[in-house]
Structure 1
């Protein structure tokens, strides 16, 4: 009887043991993945129209007729220039005709100047202009270990409250990425167009989606508020990391992901990234955005805390849009 009971229980015990082993392995893998989700963040901006605007002068007509147009900057008569008298006592008709032709010529010259300057007057009337929300992500091998201290330095010294400071952050970050071309193995770009009144929510959605991939933000500088967590052990040195080609071809490696989010005034579109040349072009293009067009900026990277790693499994699970370059 006891032998029959043992024979009946033995398969059940094997099943329970196997399930327990699988569960332990799965949980240990999840803990390792979560431990690699420290992140850094630099950001700031304002979704408001720039204060400097230009306006087209309005037509002014005083009571009693004989209206005229306010002169354009740079001197000269406006057009039309109406003269109620054509010659007084003889000889004045030709003079007034010349003045009329001069006024017409001045009007044409001023119109040409305004058109050649890009039609800046249109901005003044558009209180809800178009905004481009861009995302550029770069995946680097962990051998680019100098990149993390450089991003930390940028975060600690950044002025995120001024347009000039945010433009400098963007330039310094893109330069840091351009200095490590041999370690850039993955990349992705994306551009969305929205009106100014809807661009902020669209930008925030993208930023929250990226930030939610971190278990904690161990270093952040947002609106000039610097927060940092305690440092941990350093990443493995270059002698402890395998050859980059083998890291890609033979499975789990260690990576660094850097994400750039920008909101720019007007139409701005990043090129699709299919190779290393496309990535260089995209980095140069996004890094050259002028301060007066850069409304908001987020620079996010993971891992940030020294000692954390991002495996290939984590990379493909959290960043499925990345392409091999």
Structure 2
């Protein structure tokens, strides 16, 4: 009876989200992704699917919205209509109910041996302008050169992705983590697909996609960077499915827990333990800028990381931007760093 209820609930959520894709949800313009893996017993890469653009990366939301429409420039598309908000809220509620039920179903806590076949973890990091360009370029190189049709290739991509995120640590601004209890391979595959689908639905044009050995790419649509968006941020979503438990994070605002999770994911990065990987980032084009205000609207589940939990950086008292603590002035607005005698202006 319980298994039947879970199957029914998952089917309802999947059907709802497929139907929701017809609504003109506001999204960032560009993104990129790569991944692959297998939830079967064969160990070969690539059986979970995920063809390029099938989650909305090919412009399925229609045209009309330009990044920056929120910040003041004329042109509509700055808000969500009631026809979109109501089903979106209902869908999120359904997803939370089923996800929480799956978490409870899984059983044991971290470190226990009495668990199912697969564990899943997803971490989302919002990275500020100081590391945005370098991180975007790093992920694009991985997408264009990485081997996504073998477990060894996926393990290497996981290591390189984590390396890029750790190098950008001083620029971490926002974070979110999805924790799960171990579960069956069939249940894990459904959740893994949904997490990837949700992340790829946050943008309209997928500029690069490398999945299961098949690579697609296209040029970015014509756009210009808006001055009121600043240098912009990038959001990276990393989803991992493994044959062992993955560390859970209780407080996503503590960078120490985020580091520990990335370290634990690094330990998973081997062909025998890693089952599936998905990496999604947005925006992917230089002129497609996402402000922090837009980030909070596109990714409302992300929370600001406690500035005290990342050593070596401070936040400006005027514009609230982060910067290296050895600087005397904020590189964002020019204000004096905390503890200096300079006058603002």
TM-score range, shorter chain: 0.5 to 0.7
Regions of 4+ moved over 6 Å = 232-236
Task: Please give the per-residue CA displacement for 1:60-104, whole angstroms capped at 9, x wherever unaligned.
Answer: xxxxxxxxxxxxxxxxxxxxxxxxxxxxxxxxxxxxxxxxxxxxx
What is the Cα deviation at residue 322 of structure 1? 1.3
Q: Say which is worse superposed, 162-171 or 277-286, in terms of deviation.
A: 277-286
* 1:231 to partner: Cα distance: 4.9
3-state secondary structure, aligned to 2:196:
helix
Please point out which of 49, 53, 76 is paired with 2:41. Answer: 49
Can you give the 5+ residue segments of structure 1 that lack an aligned partner in the other structure?
1-30, 53-122, 243-250
1:253, 1:312 within 8 Å by CA — same for their partners in 2? no
2:153 is the alignment partner of 1:165: yes
Matched, 1:255 2:233: yes
Which of 284, 300, 305 is the aligned partner of 2:285? 305
Query: Unmatched 5+ residue regions in structure 2?
Result: 1-23, 45-112, 306-345
Structure 1 residues 205 and 304 mapped into 2: Cα distance closer, same or farther (>3 Å)? same
Partner of 2:29: 37
- 1:156-305 correspondence runs (5 A): 156-193=144-181, 194-231=183-220, 254-272=232-250, 273-289=252-268, 290-305=270-285
1:321 paired to 2:301: yes
Q: Distance in 2 between matches of 1:291 and 1:279?
A: 23
Aligned length: 209
Report SS of the residue matched to 2:41. Answer: coil
Alpha-carbon distance between aligned partners in 1 of 2:232 and 2:295, rounded to the nearest angstrom: 9
CA RMSD of aligned residues (A): 3.0
Whichever structure has more helix as a proportion of its residues is 1
Q: Please report how far the alpha carbon of residue 232 of structure 1 lies from its aligned counterpart in structure 2 after TM superposition.
A: 6.7
User: Which residue of structure 2 aligns with residue 149 of structure 1?
Assistant: 137
2-side partners of 1:37 and 1:50: how far apart? 38
Alpha-carbon offset, residue 241 of structure 1: 8.9
- Report how far residue 176 of structure 1 moved: 0.5
Secondary structure of 1:217's match?
Answer: strand
Conserved 8 A contact 1:133-1:199: yes
User: Are the counterparts in 1 of residues 247 and 264 from structure 2 also a CA contact under 8 Å?
Assistant: no
Shift in Å at residue 129 of structure 1? 4.1
Q: Select the structure of larger CA radius of gyration.
A: 1
